[in-house]
Structure formats: structure tokens, C-alpha cells
Chain A
Amino acid sequence: MKIIVCGCGKIGTTLLSALASEGHDLCALDKDPAAVAEVTNIYDVIGVCGNGADCETLEDAGIRETDLFIAVTGSDELNMLACFLAGRMGAGRTHTIARIRNPEYNDASLDFMRRELGLSLAINPELLAARELFDILRMPSAVGIDAFSGRSFEMIELILKDDSVLDGITLQELRNTYQATVLVCTVQRGDEVLIPRSGTFTLRAGDRIGITAAPSEIAKFLRQIGLLQKKARRVMLLGGSRTAFYLAKLLTASGVSVKIIEKDPATAEDLAEKLPGVSIVLGDGAQQELLLEEGLRETDAFVALTGMDEENILISIYAASQSVPKVISKINRDELSSMAEKLGLDSFISPRRIISDVLVQYARALENSQGTAVETLYKLMDGRAEALEFRVKEPVEGVTDIPISVLGKTLKENILIAGIIRNRKTIVPGPADSILPGDRVIVLAGGHRLSDLGDILAQR
């Protein structure tokens, strides 16, 4: 599929990298020749230098044959205009996606604007990141949460500490000992990612596991294994970025007390005006004294959201050392998050990864407009595994109406049916369950690129 990415900044580069590994024909567009040269030297893409909102440049980039146009320049207005032109020039063929992150546009008027500009999708990485953070803060035991299909189904990630009761028990024993119907979907052990399919698989301390269950079951299970933490009531946010703004709004709406530490007076002033009920502190969060004075030790959760990955990591380490129960850091660069993990941090959030997951999913769904398209996609464990949600519109030969116990034998290696959502109810699939038309199915896949539900079968 032919895709143009307009804007080769941080997000643009991440997108190019993710979409190039998906095998799309990519064109990178930026007005800075150096940025274009840089991406064409690293990724298998063609570069065009120019203004994305200029018809001639779009023509040069081959807009008429393009299936998807993604505008992620630093300016919301440019993104909108570029997408509008691209949509018109592509004459109905081109889908357009714009990054719109200014909170002023992200209110009720967004839908109207999206419709009038003919945008297929408006994405706001900061808002998506805030939602993910909000989910984690509701369930602090998890180090990561991936929500599917309107939150009726979640996959939560846990880290098994050295004293975990799960150390050394097999999945079979897990099922028998704890009555909860949970499914262990992924296990990251060292640098390996495993998708356990047999009951004899043994869990070990140090594993990072992904489990799925119905929302009510998860709490029960966490209590049984002694990992349940209460929802965070007092949260401290470091840095008054857009993510912090959206998160503070979500948190205060659910009755959590929020404190934001911001060092820029103008930003702090602005936040104070827009966020009544949130306490804004003007000061440098890198000063430990200031954090202690503002009650770091008494908070339930600390979230580092400054623009600098390095600063976030260092201050998070300090917060963890002051025994704050839950510490989350925003880390945009993937290589840094694996280093931070070695330094003892466990919860990260990356707006860049979130946005690239959304767009990879969009491109895959577009590629496969018939049949069972991908509705949600999460890359797990540095992209070595994927969790996908499919909507089964019509019967799929060899997949639907077949009990899991039989279906399991015909699947490819490293594929697991992690959940079925039927009439808004979550089913953790047992041997007798089967996939029916109309369901939504969550599939875990390691090392495969799935774009259709039928792709899970070994022979097709």
C-alpha cells in the first residue's frame, strides 16, 4: 500500500520505521532537506522535499496513487490543511490522518472539523497517552494495560517479583489453585518473548507476564496472589505538558487529587487557569528538596512527563527510592526504556509507540477492507509480539464454529486466542468455547504479521 508521511520529526520517523517494517511503499515528505536525507538513509522510503500543503509537492510525492496520507508535522493547522488537500487531490482514494494535539481543537468542535475537512482520523498522541496512564493509575498493580473494544476487555502486564507466589508454578497448577479464569498470554523472560500454549509451562520470578480476564475476575485474581493495590488517590505529575493536562482532567473528573509541578511560569499560569481543582506548583522538579516539600512521600503515584526522557528516568528513580508505591515515566525512545528497565523502573509510557500502533493498525485494516479487519493492535515487548482485535463480521472457514480444543491444533506456532467478546461480555476461551460470527476476538501473535483472522491458521 502506498503511504505518504508528511513531517519527519520524532513521530514521523517512528511511523516510517514501523510502517516500513510492515512492507508498505512509503514516501517521506518534509520541508527540511536534511531531515529527508536522514530518513532516506536509514529506512527504505523515498523522500520528497517541500511543503506538505503545496499541491505541486503533493503531486511530486504521487498523491494520486496514494492510499493513506498521514500529516504529523509540528503544526496542527498545517496538518489539517495538508490532509484536506491530499484528500481532495486523492479523489476519494486517499485516506487522511492528521495529528491534532492542541487542546483547543480537541473539544466538541473536533468532530465537526474532522467531518468538514474530510479527515479519516484525527489523532492526538498526548490524549491517547493520558488515557493509558489513567488506566494504569486505576489499577496500579499492573505495569501496563492494553484495552480492547471499548474497555470491555483488557490485557494487563505484571512483573513477578522474587517473592511472588507464582514463582515456579505451572499454568495447570495456576488454573487449579486459583479459581479465577485468567489466561497467561505472553511471558517476557530476559530477551525472549514466549506465548505459552501448554499447561506445563512454568512461571518464574522476574517474568513480565501479560494476562487477560474479565474485568471483575482480574481484581479477584490480583488479591489472591497478593498483588492488589488500591486505586491511586493522590497523584503527582512532573511537567505541565499536554499529556499532563489531559491526564489531570481525567483524574480530577474521577475524584483523584492531582498536583502538577511545572518550572515554566507561563505554562504553570496557563494550567492553573484551565485546571481548577488541580494544585499547580511552580518549581524545578529536578530538585529533590522541592519534591519532598510537596509531599512526594505521601503520594500514591508519581508520573514523570517532562519533554526529556533522561530527566524523566532520573527523577523516577529518585521517586521510587522514596518508596512511592507507583512510579510511571514517559519515555519516547525505545532504547532508553530497556535501559530504564535495567535501572529498576517498570512502568513506562511512550506516546510515540501508541501513535505508531494506531497507524499500523489503521494501515492493516485498510489493506484488508473485506473479511475480518483488525480493529485494535498493540505491539508488545518491543514489537516482538502483537495483540490484535478482530471483528468477525461473517463466518471464516476453518476458524468460526469450531471448539477451541480443535481449533488450537490447526493454528500457527506462537498464536493464542486470548479472548472472545460476545454481546459486550468477555469470555476467556476454554476448550469448549468457539468463535461465532458477530464476535470480537483477541489474538496474541509472536513473529507473525496478521491482517486477517484467517491468517492465524497454519494452512491456508
Chain B
Amino acid sequence: MNHKMILRTAGLIVALEGALLLLPTLCAVCYSEWRIALWFLVTAAIAGILGLGLVVLTRGCDRTIYAKEGFVIVALGWILMSAIGALPFVFTGDIPAYHDAFFETVSGLTTTGASILTDIPAMSRGCLFWRSFTHWIGGMGVLVLMMAIVPDANGRSIHIMRAEMPGPVVDKIVPRVRDTAKILYLMYIGLTLAEVIFLLTGGMSLFESFIHTFGTAGTGGFSSRPESIGAFSPYIQWGVTVFMLLFGVNFNLYYLILIKRVKSALRSEELWLYVGLFVILTGVIAWNIRPLTAGIGESLRLAAFQVASIGTTTGYATTDFNLWPNLARMMLLLLMFVGGCAGSTAGGLKVARIGILLKSAGKELNRLRHPRSVNAVRFEGKPLSEETRAGVTNYFALYALLLAGILIMIGGEPFDMETNISAAISCFNNVGPGFSSVGPTGGYAGYSVWAKLVLSAAMLLGRLEIYPIVLSLTPSTWRKK
């Protein structure tokens, strides 16, 4: 275990967070919130000193890392980021209790969007900006950002990238890790700016345009309005639906389109599965909720928005879907597990994994029918290696096991079962809202400190896809041979 390199990278992440904290500072200054700006500046200074201190202490260390170090770096980095990111909320008094602030920051960074806030309009602009900005940082990943900026990357950095990027198989899109990170961020920034401009033309204020774009880009879901996107015009609602779907697509496909290989991009099986799922569910739910709405236009708009929001694990809402019929609600609950495409900013199991699971289950059925038949599972036009297939099924097993653990740990909370079950599923899949008391109009404020910590852990486990956190907590990872 290369402890020095782990500390060095953690230091870089913290220093980077210090730099990123200057943006909410600037925002607070723009709105003349001088006290808030000061506290953000103080936090930025703390992060900067701590981070650069670690970097200086570990200078000249051996840069060689393996997969194990990659996992630990990512887990440690994210926990540190959350711990420091929570400080401004406490300092400014917007969220007085540290555990609440921690929950909110983890929820932001993991792009979950679960909130303990009960009175959003009372928040300062600076804190609201930071809360949503964490979505944007966490969406593409802070380590990917670090690799794009710090000229530190070598061939081994792929281990860090693999640990942070979601999906069953993570590969570079261009030969160098640093260039890959840069391209990903440029595309991310490009799409973000496109949405900001769209929202501005839809009549949203500049501040709210940024807030809601951050929420969509990271597939997070924090809003500055209690009614979420429901407070805006149908035009904006349709636009946000499209952008949510766009951010849930594998970013590698955008690169293929950029280098004019549109055909290869459109050949992606995962993309069609994702689009198909969206179309079918929207149709069924729109038909199911028809009696509650004014007409087919409205029911389609509401169904499409909610399906896109839950499907990409964003968690915005335009209506209180708690009031929907049971069939529609059940579909949304199951959709939480699916999530977006691999290599996107969305959470959940990922459409690719679901596809591979279905195909390998089909292969098993075929094998039972014809024990001597030899057949390979193909995905994305290529035969799937046994390693990847086993990786996906094992991941699913661990995923189910952890979900059971989380359900048990928050099972004692004084809410109905629907609340507890949907809260655990929603947090673990980085969606945000659940049903009943944690529905789109409710929140997580009522949970105990213990449950908030458990759910924070669930969100981190979900965003980093289990392994980094679990491996870091296993003593044998740290033991010297």
C-alpha cells in the first residue's frame, strides 16, 4: 500500500475543493451576502492549507499505484470532500447541526438530491449555490477533474479513474488519461452551458438557471424552490426532461459523435435500451395517471418528466407523484434501481448492467434447456468476457446484500415501511425523493442522527459503486504483506 501517494492525492483533492469553494464565495459577494462570503473564504482557506500541506509533506513520493490504491484514494477523497464541504453550512448557520450539513453535502456530491432542509427560501444565496454546485462537481467526479488539471497523471492513473467512474467497464476514450479527463469535462461543461442558456431563454433568473442546471447536469436534484421544477412553465419542464435524459447518456457516445462516428454511437445497445425503457414507461404511466390530469398533453408531460427524473436518478419533480395510482408508483420505484447509462453522471445499477444481467439470465435458461449448447453472450456488438459477466452478477449480489443491510439499519425509524424502504432505495441509487414521508413534498429532516449517517454512507456506496468504500473499510487492504 502506497500510503504517501494516497495522502498526496487526497491533499490535491482537498486543495482543489478549496479552489472550487471560491465560486460560492463569488456568488455570495454578487448578492452582497458579506458574512456568508467571509465564511466560504475561511473554509476555502482551511481546505487550501490542509490540502497543500499534505501535498508538501508527501513531495517526492513514489507515484506507482495499483488498483487497490485507486479504490482507497477515491473513497478517502470523497469522504474528505464531504466532511469539508459541510463546514460552510455550519459556519454560516444555515444548517446548524454538523450531521445535517454532512448529510446534505454527501447528498449533493453523490448527486442524490435528498434534503433535510424544510425551509429552502430562508437559505442564503451562497449556501444554495454551493449546495447545488456540489452536484455538478460530484456528477463527473472530482478526481477526473483533478486529473484534467494537475499534470500528475501517468499510466497508473487509470486505476483512480476506474474507481470513480460508474459502469461495469471503464475505458479511456483517447490514449492518455489526462486527455480523456479533459475531453469528458469539456463535453460536460459544454452541455451545462447549453442548459443554462436554454433556461435563461425560458425566462428563469440567472441564479436559478445555474442552480437547476447544476441539479440536472450532475443528475442530482437540489432545487431552490419547494415545488422543484413544478414551479416553472411547461416549456421549461419539457426542456429539463430532455436535458436530464441527455446527462444520463454515456459520455463516450458524445465523443464518438464529436469525432463524426455517429453510426458507431447509434449502434450502442445500451442507448436503445435506455430510450426504449423511457418511452414504454412514459406511455404506461401517462395512461395510468390520465384520470388525475386535465388531458393527454398534461399527463404525457408529467409522466415523461417523472420517468426521466427518476430514471436518470435526478430527483426533480413537477408534481407530487405520491398521489399517483399504485401501478405508476411501483414502476417509479423499480425504475430507481435501473438508473442511467454507464459512463454518465447518473446513479443506480446502470442500464448496461441490467442488460448484461438479463442476457446472462437468458443464457442460463438456454443452458438448462440444452445442456450441451455452447453460446456466448454478446453486448454492444462484442462477445462479453466471462470476467465482465461474472463482475456484473457479483456486483449485483453485493448490491442486494448491502441494500438489505441498509434497510435493516434504518428499519427502526418511526416511519411507515413505504417511507423507510423507498428512502433506502432512493439514497442507495442516488435518486433523492422516495415515497410517503420522503416523497417530493417531504424530506429527510425527520430521521434520527444514526439514520442520517447510515443514509449518507448508502449514498457514498451508491455513487462510488460499492467497491471503493467496502475495500477501504477492509483491514486486509491496509495490512502489510
Contacts and interface: CB of A to CB of B under 8 A. Distances in A.
Interface string A10-39: 000000000010000111000001000000
A256 to B, nearest CB: 44
A44 B385 contact: no
A26 B385 contact: no
A43 B157 CA distance: 9
A25 B175 contact: yes
Interface in B164-200: 171-179
Contacts of B179: 25
B155 A20 contact: yes
Contact of B158 (A20, A26, A27, A41): A41
A40 interface: yes
B154 A44 contact: yes
Contact of B174 (A25, A42, A43, A47): A25
B402 interface: no
B324 to A, nearest CB: 46
Nearest to A50: B382
B63 to A, nearest CB: 12
B402 to A, nearest CB: 27
The bracket for how many chain B residues form the interface is 10 to 19
B155, B157, B174: residue with the most chain A Cβ atoms closer than 10 Å: B155
Interface string A87-100: 00000000000000
A41 B158 CA distance: 7
A41 B68 CA distance: 12
Contacts of B177: 44
B175 A45 contact: yes
B155 A44 contact: yes
A376 to B, nearest CB: 27
B258 to A, nearest CB: 14
Nearest to A49: B382
Contacts of A46: 171-175
A404 to B, nearest CB: 36
B251 to A, nearest CB: 16
Nearest to A47: B171
B389 interface: no
B378 interface: no
B301 interface: no
A30 to B, nearest CB: 14
A306 B171 CA distance: 39
Nearest to B172: A46
Main secondary structure, interface of A, reads mixed
Interface in A42-83: 42-47
A44 B175 CA distance: 6
B454 interface: no
Contacts of A27: 175
Contacts of B59: none
A33 B172 CA distance: 16
Contacts, number: 38
Contacts of A42: 155-156
B154 to A, nearest CB: 6
Interface string A252-266: 000000000000000
A41 B156 CA distance: 6
B64 to A, nearest CB: 9
B242 interface: no
A433 to B, nearest CB: 40
B159 interface: yes
A70 to B, nearest CB: 14
B175 A41 contact: no
Name the residue in A20, A40, A44, A46 with the highest tally of chain B Cβ atoms < 10 Å from its Cβ: A44
B123 interface: no
B155 A45 contact: yes
Contacts of A25: 174-176, 179
A44 B174 contact: no
Contact of A26 (B153, B154, B175, B178): B175
A193 B172 CA distance: 36
Nearest to B178: A44
Nearest to A41: B158
B19 to A, nearest CB: 25
Nearest to B180: A46
A44 B159 contact: no
A27 B410 CA distance: 49
B157 A44 contact: yes
Contacts of A40: 155, 158, 171-172
A18 B174 CA distance: 19
A437 B311 CA distance: 69
A43 B175 CA distance: 10
Nearest to A40: B158
A27 B179 CA distance: 14
Contacts of B157: 44
B155 A33 contact: no
Interface string B373-402: 000000000000100000000000000000
Contacts of A20: 155
B244 to A, nearest CB: 30
Interface in B138-167: 153-159
A41 B159 contact: yes
A447 to B, nearest CB: 16
B65 to A, nearest CB: 11
Contacts of B178: 44
A42 B179 CA distance: 17
A46 B178 CA distance: 12
Contacts of A41: 67, 155-156, 158-159
Contacts of B173: 46
A124 B159 CA distance: 35
Nearest to B264: A60
A26 B159 CA distance: 18
Contacts of A26: 175
A20 to B, nearest CB: 6
A63 to B, nearest CB: 13
Given A41-B67, A46-B174, 7 more contacts: A20-B155, A25-B179, A41-B158, A42-B155, A44-B157, A44-B177, A45-B155
Interface of A: 2, 20, 25-27, 33, 40-47
Interface of B: 67, 153-159, 171-179, 385
14 contacts: A2-B175, A25-B175, A25-B176, A33-B385, A40-B171, A41-B156, A41-B158, A42-B156, A43-B155, A44-B154, A44-B158, A44-B175, A45-B175, A46-B174
CB-CB nearest 5 A-B residue pairs: A43-B155, A44-B155, A25-B175, A46-B175, A44-B176
